[in-house]
């Protein structure tokens, strides 16, 4: 990572991906290109209260530094969270910079920037609420039609019948699981659930 500093301090990056399957490379490349001297990365849902690397980044920052994020939604969980953290940073003399999206050219440490921050945060929260409503309505409609979500069963009723019959003949659970192509833990769970 390249070493760089703001006018009086360092530019410190923060990146977040929601799951282990997601890659943070796009964010890392942008933060590195912006000149962040250090980057902290969390792998956690935006709803998660546990973001240890964000806490570490906030602890690491000193007066004159600036916290840099790739995009607003990678940083804050809600409008209240966003405004609260930016206020805390400002009180400590720490800047805040967003590289892409709605706040890319706005300084949230000015009155105009703070107003824009609140408007954009409110719009983002409104959109999340709409998505939740649509998802809930879609799930209710699917349920009314007899469809349910979730993963399909690993062991079908026929497989369970075969497994029970083989177990009754004295065959080991390990051998049955291997023959059915499932793990022992899965087979034990299905056998326990079926009584």
Same domain for 101 and 184? no
132 domain residue, yes or no = no
Same domain for 23 and 76? yes
Domain that holds residue 116: 11-125
The structural domain count of the chain equals 2
Which distant-in-sequence residues (6+ apart) come within 8 Å of 77 by Cβ? 46, 47
Cβ-contact 191, 161 below 8 angstroms: no
Same domain for 29 and 119? yes
pLDDT of residue 64 exceeding 80: yes
146 domain residue, yes or no = no
6 domain residue, yes or no = no
Same domain for 32 and 74? yes
The residue among 62, 86, 61, 58 whose CA lies nearest residue 72 is 86
Reported as a pLDDT band with limits 50, 70 and 90, residue 90 is confident
49 domain residue, yes or no = yes
> Residues of the chain with pLDDT > 70: what percent?
88
CATH code, 24 = 3.40.50.1390
Q: How many CA atoms lie within 13 A of 192 on its CB side?
A: 6
Same domain for 107 and 176? no
Q: Could you read off the pLDDT of 121-150 as tens digits, one per residue?
A: 677 778 778 888 998 998 888 888 888 777
79 domain residue, yes or no = yes
Cβ-contact 54, 42 below 8 angstroms: yes
> What local confidence, expressed as pLDDT, does residue 4 receive?
45
> What local confidence, expressed as pLDDT, does residue 11 receive?
94
Same domain for 34 and 120? yes
Same domain for 161 and 121? no
Q: Where are the alpha helices (DSSP H) in the chain?
A: 25-34, 52-60, 79-91, 111-144, 157-168, 173-180, 184-193
pTM of the model: 0.56
Same domain for 165 and 74? no
Question: Annotated active-site positions, please?
Answer: 18
134 domain residue, yes or no = no
Same domain for 115 and 168? no
Torsion of CA 73, 76, 79, 81, to 10 degrees: 180
Q: Could you read off the pLDDT of 107-119 as tens digits, one per residue?
A: 776 788 778 777 8
167 domain residue, yes or no = yes
DSSP classification of residue 5: B
The residue among 52, 121, 127 whose CA lies nearest residue 84 is 121
151 domain residue, yes or no = no
Same domain for 20 and 110? yes
Same domain for 100 and 53? yes
């Amino acid at each position: 990572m390249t070493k760089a500093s703001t006018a009086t301090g360092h530019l410190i990056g923060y990146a977040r991906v929601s799951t282990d399957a997601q890659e943070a490379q796009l964010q890392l490349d942008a933060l590195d290109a912006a000149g962040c001297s250090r980057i902290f990365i969390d792998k956690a849902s935006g709803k998660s209260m546990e973001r240890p690397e964000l806490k570490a980044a906030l602890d690491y920052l000193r007066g004159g530094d600036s916290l840099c994020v790739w995009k607003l939604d990678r940083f804050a969980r809600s409008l209240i969270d966003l405004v609260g953290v930016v206020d805390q940073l400002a009180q400590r003399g720490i800047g805040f910079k967003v590289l892409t999206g709605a706040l890319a050219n706005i300084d949230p440490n000015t009155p105009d920037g703070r107003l824009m921050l609140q408007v954009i945060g409110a719009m983002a929260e409104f959109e999340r609420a709409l998505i939740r409503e649509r998802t809930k309505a879609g799930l209710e409609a699917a349920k009314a039609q007899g469809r349910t979500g979730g993963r399909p069963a690993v062991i079908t009723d026929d497989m369970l019948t075969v497994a029970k019959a083989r177990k009754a003949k004295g065959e080991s659970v390990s051998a049955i699981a291997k023959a059915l192509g499932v793990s022992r833990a899965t087979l034990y769970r299905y056998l326990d659930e079926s009584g």
